[in-house]
Amino acid sequence: MSARDRELSTTADGEESQLTYQKITESPLRRWLMLDGHRLAIAGLLTAGLYAAVIALYVAGLFPVTDAGTVVTLYGSLVGGTLPFITIVLAINQLVLSQELGWTPDLRDRFDGMTEFQRDVEELTESGVSPASPAAFLNVIVTATVVRARRLPDALADDADPDKRAEVERFIETFESDGETVSNALEDAEFGTFEALSAVLGHHQGNYYHAARTFRDEWDDVFDETEPLEELIELLGFLAVARQTFKTLYVQHELAVLSRMLLYVGFPTLVGGGLLMLSYSQLVGAISSTWLLLAIAAGGVVLVFLPFMVLLSYALRIATIAARTADFGPFVPRASS
């Protein structure tokens, strides 16, 4: 066995081969916060946390709610910081529209490219007319990759090197397990791009593609037949393209939703913050209960921070998706994210 082969296979002391894909494990709570949770629910949790923090500051003596000048100055600073959100909304809209608008030749080329890709997938998977749902379309490809992986044991040579055979069998076992997990998630996904994209985040990365190419190009003596391996490599390429396509569609949709939500939240924030700035001095003189003043003052702070909370909740998911789909194609720049 060559030094290259020894590096890629399992070592004598049991060290895991780098060819074997390692699943990403994470806390369900963290995944819910970063990906699967409803963005407005996340914004609500962040807002509740801010409200509790303001009350904690008051208890600590750092938020003098009876000092109208200090509170009004705070509101003025926060409202002034909200104004740049108008620029953010315009920038987001410009980004989305730049991808959506186009002239007939460009739009036709884009459409022809998408339909040609569909036909290539349909031909290789023998699935007839492919589904229009992103989740179902991805499931067709994932299911086809699992089918090809299950054919690999029959393609192994009888006299194959035992270490290489064990490595290929370990690859097949991990691949099948991962593929079934993704397929089950895609079956339960509703029509829409995020459900489809969420199901394949952290699965079927370039690790598999690299391993399959290594088996084909450097371990050709292990296989009597390479057709299932060739088809698996091609399907993994299709899956990478499909995932990036649906990521693009989802991010465009998410940015449009974010832009609209910022407008919905930004207007009452500016109006409410301005009214509080004008009336808080009178409220301090008219309300004798310090705790009621605290509730009003903390509510005002939360109100002015609402656009930031909405932006943060959406930006967390978009950034997480971008990080987990950064390893496009045959390259694997990270171990996990």
pLDDT value of residue 122: 93
Residue 20 lies in a domain: no
What residue numbers bound the domain in which 122 lies?
Answer: 28-268+289-324
Considering the domain boundaries, does residue 276 fall inside one? Answer: no
The answer to whether position 225 is within a domain reads yes
In a domain, 18, yes or no: no
The whole-number mean pLDDT for each consecutive block of 10 residues of the chain, a chain of 337 residues, reads 38 43 66 87 95 94 90 89 78 76 83 92 89 86 90 84 86 86 79 70 73 84 86 91 85 86 88 90 89 93 92 89 70 53
Q: Which residues contact 280 (CB under 8 A, 6 or more apart)?
A: 68, 71, 72, 75, 296, 297, 300
Q: What is the pLDDT of residue 204?
A: 59
Q: Flag whether 41 is in a domain.
A: yes
Burial call 122-152: b when 16+ CB within 10 Å, e when fewer = eeebeeeebeebbbebbbbbbbbbbbbbeeb
Q: Which two tokens stand for residue 310?
A: 């909405």
Residue owning tokens 């339960």: 188
Cα–Cα distance between 164 and 5 in angstroms, integer?
A: 8
208 with 186: CB under 8 angstroms? no
- Inside any domain, residue 284: no
* Within a domain: 293: yes
Which pLDDT does position 328 carry in this prediction? 64
How many structural domains compose the chain? 1
Residue 64 lies in a domain: yes
